[in-house]
Amino acid sequence: MYQFPFISAIGTAVPPYKISQKLHYSILESANGMGRKEKLQLRKVYSGCGIEARHSVLDDFGKTDQTDNVLFFPSNHHAAMPVSGRMNLYEHYALGLSEKAVIQCMEKLPSLLPSHITHLITFSCTGMSAPGLDIQLVERLGLSRSVERTCINFMGCYAGINAMKTAYHISRSEPNAVVLLTGVELCTLHYQKNEKEDQIIANALFGDGASACIISSQRIPSVNDSPALSLKSFYAEFEPGEKEEMAWRIGDYGFDLRLSSYVPGLLKKSIPAFIAKLFSRANIKQEDIDFFAFHPGGVRILEACEAALNISKKENEIAYHVLHDYGNMSSVTIFFVLKIFLESFTSEDIGKKILACAFGPGLTMESMLAEVC
């Protein structure tokens, strides 16, 4: 009998510098050269973002304007850092943060050794190089040099679900596969000071983080033999007429985000039909879903999901919790949500179903159905 692949454990990590949203706002508001219009935009975005704190690999964002700051120069005393400099910072910090998430994940599976890993999938949209994070992790973790490596780059916030889908297909085709997924997003490296609404929103929402998980066709025993997640079905599509409403491009002085204010409304309109196709493929109904795990792209995104599926904020509270504590960490954020769910499950939850969704450039919608087992 065919057995669906399992998520046996999830690990997450954030860098050491915790940025109070109130402090960051006060520093920006007092910055020299910021006009009245920009301050009003800033106040509007920060007051409704639902974020208490974020994390960064840099300590710039908790300090006032100082000459030793790397990126954050509110008084414009220094020229903006070019993309090459930001990529150097990414290479410097990404490995350590990703490794931290992997170690946390593997510690939950005491029988799993590095030599058991047959496939490695890395994903990120905030930095890249070759040789890159995949080879660095093979060397740092002591994985086999013949491990099969797949790199998923620049897909945006939905890349985490895409990575799980890739591991799902690998596990279905290779019964002995043990797939390590790890993603790292250093969003704060792309801080840019300008008056564009898109950039003000990005500066207010995004933080740094990393995640890791193990997916395999054979369930791997975890500490205390806690429940796992069985991956059942995936579905993705994009809205062809809305490609420019959310976009992510490489600019001269960082990666440039295009995030239209229309995105929540577009999602609210598009999600019902999108989810109906997922349910149809899986031969289930929404009433069969017990838990909802949405990518917390922002408060308005979460509210749009609730309205589209007619669910309560209470049913979506874990996503709000992650947004509140960490901000939007792009593709790795969905794993922070799923980890909280996974660690809260008990034997009484066996057989219950969870729906996970994430959204990104395209306008792309990715979804996953899983069952507690």
| Predicted confidence (pLDDT) at residue 186 exceeds the cutoff of 90 | yes
**Kind of pairing between the strands at 353-360 and 246-251:** unpaired
pLDDT of residue 362: 79
pLDDT of residue 247: 72
In angstroms, the CA 344 to CA 173 distance is 31
Task: Record the tokens describing residue 299, joined without a space.
Answer: 């408060």
pLDDT of residue 49: 86
Helix ranges restricted to H, the chain? 21-29, 36-47, 83-107, 133-141, 159-173, 197-205, 263-282, 299-309, 317-326, 333-344
Who wins on pLDDT, 207 or 244? Answer: 207
Average pLDDT for residues 136-152, to the nearest whole number? 96
pLDDT in tens, 53-109: 999 998 877 666 666 666 655 455 555 778 898 999 999 999 999 999 999 999 999
**What is the model's pTM?**
0.93
Is residue 205 within 8 A of residue 298, CB to CB? The reply is yes
Average pLDDT for residues 308-332, to the nearest whole number? 96
pLDDT of residue 193: 72
| Predicted confidence (pLDDT) at residue 317 exceeds the cutoff of 70 | yes
In angstroms, the CA 312 to CA 305 distance is 10
Q: Tell me the three state secondary structure of residue 332.
A: helix
| Predicted confidence (pLDDT) at residue 284 exceeds the cutoff of 70 | yes
pLDDT band, very low/low/confident/very high, at 348 (cuts 50, 70, 90)? very high
pLDDT in tens, 11-35: 999 999 998 888 878 777 766 566 7
Active-site residue list? 157
| Predicted confidence (pLDDT) at residue 172 exceeds the cutoff of 50 | yes
Average pLDDT for residues 236-245, to the nearest whole number? 75
Considering the chain, what percentage of its residues have pLDDT values greater than 90?
63
| Predicted confidence (pLDDT) at residue 278 exceeds the cutoff of 50 | yes
75-79, 161-165, 272-276, range with the lowest pLDDT: 75-79
| Predicted confidence (pLDDT) at residue 1 exceeds the cutoff of 50 | no
Which of 256, 274, 286, 255 shows the shortest CA–CA distance to 358? 274
Q: Where are the domains of the chain?
A: 229-372
The dihedrals phi and psi of 110, each to the nearest 5 degrees, come to: -60, -25
pLDDT of residue 73: 54
Who wins on pLDDT, 365 or 253? Answer: 365
| Predicted confidence (pLDDT) at residue 266 exceeds the cutoff of 60 | yes
pLDDT of residue 65: 60
**Kind of pairing between the strands at 246-251 and 208-216:** unpaired
Average pLDDT for residues 155-166, to the nearest whole number? 95
Residue with tokens 């838990």: 291
Average pLDDT for residues 121-146, to the nearest whole number? 95
DSSP string, 126-172: S---SS-HHHHHHHHHT--TT-EEEEEES--TTHHHHHHHHHHHHHH
Our measurement of the distance from residue 78's CA atom to the centroid of its chain's CA atoms, rounded to an integer in Å, reads 31
Is residue 251 within 8 A of residue 194, CB to CB? The reply is no
pLDDT of residue 285: 94
| Predicted confidence (pLDDT) at residue 209 exceeds the cutoff of 80 | yes
pLDDT of residue 223: 86
Q: Which of the four CATH numbers 3.40.47.10, 3.20.20.70, 3.30.365.10, 3.40.50.2000 does domain 229-372 have?
A: 3.40.47.10
* Listed ranges 47-51, 189-193, 239-243, 280-284; the one with the highest mean pLDDT: 280-284
Which of 373, 7, 370, 368 shows the shortest CA–CA distance to 179? 7
Average pLDDT for residues 238-247, to the nearest whole number? 71
| Predicted confidence (pLDDT) at residue 242 exceeds the cutoff of 70 | no
